[in-house]
Structure 1
C-alpha cells in the first residue's frame, strides 16, 4: 500500500496483482513524509512499525485506509488498485507458493518430523497456508480444491480490498493486470509523475480455466463470483 500525502493518493495493493511492480515504480516519486508499506527496501523495513503505529500493512484494504485518513481526507484523495482474472491470480499464488517452498527446503529433521506426524514446520514459508496447500497438491486443480488455499490471505476475493461492507466500490480507478501498461500510463498522467514500470515477482506462466477440472473451476467460480461480475471477467 502507498499513502501519498504529497500527491494525495492511495494505492491499494491486492495480492498477486502486480502490486510490487507498481509500488517500486511509484516509490521513485515519493517524498519523505509519504507512506509505502512493503515492496521497497524501506517499505519492508518499516512495515512492522507502521502496522503497530497506524494499523496498516502491505495489503491493507481501501476501507482500512479510509479509517486511517478519515472520511473527509479520503474523499479528497485519488484511490486506485489493480485486479487480475481470478483464475490467473489463483495460479500465480500457486506458482509463488511452490517457489517459496522450493527455495526454502526442509531440513532433514523437519522432513523426518513431517513424515512422522504430517505437520509442516512452524516457520516461513511452511507456515503459510498457500504453501502448505501447494505442497499437498499434485496439480493446480488440487490446489483450487484444497481447504488451506481458501484460508490464505492471498486467495481472498479482490472486491474485499476495494469495496465497503455493502460491496460498493470505494476507489476511483481499478486497473487490470491484463492491460497494465495502458492503465499504469493513465495512473501516471493522473498523478503527474513519469516513472518506468518493471515487472517483478512474475510467475512467468499464465493458466486458463480449461486447465482446471470441472469441480475446481466450479469452486473458483463460486468463490470469486463477485470478482467476475464486478471487474468484468468471464467466468467461462
Structure 2
C-alpha cells in the first residue's frame, strides 16, 4: 500500500497487479509507515503485508484523512496463473528474507509449507494445482496471508460496492498510470518496471496466460471470480 501525505492519495495493492512496478515508480511519493513485507500491524492486530484489502484499510487511521484512494486490477485468468508462479518464487526466496522477528517468520514458514504441500500434491502443474485450491483459500483472507489470491474487488470496495476513487487495469497500465498521476497531481518521469518477466510485462495482450489452462481450470476461475468479471467488465472465456 502506498500512502502519500504530500499529495493526499493512497494506492492499494491487490496481489499480482503490478504492485512492484507502481512502488518503484511512486517511490519518491510514498510515505507509508507500514512495511511491504510481513509485519504485525497493531491496528489490525495480525500479521499483514503490502497487499492490504480495502476492508483492512478502513481500519487504519489513514482511511479517515479524506485522501484519494485507488487500486490497479487485473483479469482473473492472469492473476491466478501469475499467482501460481509467485507462490513458487515465494517458497524459494522468502525463507532467506529478513523478518522483523522470529515468531513472524515461524508463522510465515508454516503458511509457505501449506502452499508447498499443495503444489507438490499437484506435481507443480497448474491445472492440477487449481483443482486442489478450495473456495475458502480464495474467499477467506485471515488463515493464510501467504496466499492472497482473493477477488480483486476486495481491494476496490466492500460487498461489491466500489469505495475507491480510482480503478486502473494492468491491461491498460501505461494509460491508466497516466490517469492516476493526473488524478493526484503528480508528474512521474522515471518509469521502471519491477518483478516483471518476459511474458508477464504490464500492459499489452489482454489475456496472457489463459492458453496455458485447461477448460476445467477456466470454468473454475469463471466461477470463483464471477464477481470480478461482472464488476470490472472482463470477458469470460468458455470453460
Q: Relative to 1, partners in 2 of residues 1:88 and 1:146: Cα closer, same or farther, differing over 3 Å?
A: same
Q: What SS does the corresponding residue of 2:69 show, helix, strand or coil? A: strand
Q: Deviations over 1:37-77 (max 9, x none)?
A: 344xxxx4xx636x135657411122322332377x45x31
Which among 151, 154, 177 is matched to residue 148 of structure 2?
154
Match of residue 62 from structure 1? 54
Aligned length: 208
Structure 2 Cα separation of the partners of residues 122 and 190 of structure 1 = 39
Match of residue 223 from structure 1? 224
Which among 31, 37, 41 is matched to residue 34 of structure 2?
37
Gaps of at least 5 residues in structure 2 are 96-105, 138-143, 201-207
Q: Deviations over 1:87-111 (max 9, x none)?
A: 1111111112223345589xxxxxx
Note if contact 1:149-1:155 (Cα within 8 Å) is conserved in structure 2: no
CA RMSD of aligned residues (A): 3.0
Structure 1 Cα separation of the partners of residues 4 and 50 of structure 2 = 14
Q: Relative to 1, partners in 2 of residues 1:200 and 1:148: Cα closer, same or farther, differing over 3 Å?
A: farther
User: Greater shift after overlay, 150-159 or 62-71?
Assistant: 62-71
Question: Where do 1:196-207 residues align within 5 Å?
Answer: 196-205=190-199, 207=208
Deviation at 1:78, TM superposition (A): 0.8
Larger radius of gyration: 1
Under a length normalisation based on structure 2, what TM-score does the superposition of the two structures give?
A: 0.74
Note if contact 1:150-1:156 (Cα within 8 Å) is conserved in structure 2: no
Match of residue 96 from structure 1? 86
Which among 133, 137, 145 is matched to residue 122 of structure 2?
137
User: Greater shift after overlay, 142-151 or 87-96?
Assistant: 142-151
Match of residue 171 from structure 1? 164
User: Greater shift after overlay, 152-161 or 121-130?
Assistant: 121-130
Note if contact 1:86-1:227 (Cα within 8 Å) is conserved in structure 2: yes
Match of residue 13 from structure 1? 13
Q: Deviations over 1:145-183 (max 9, x none)?
A: 12369625322111112211x310100111111111111
Structure with greater helix percent: 1
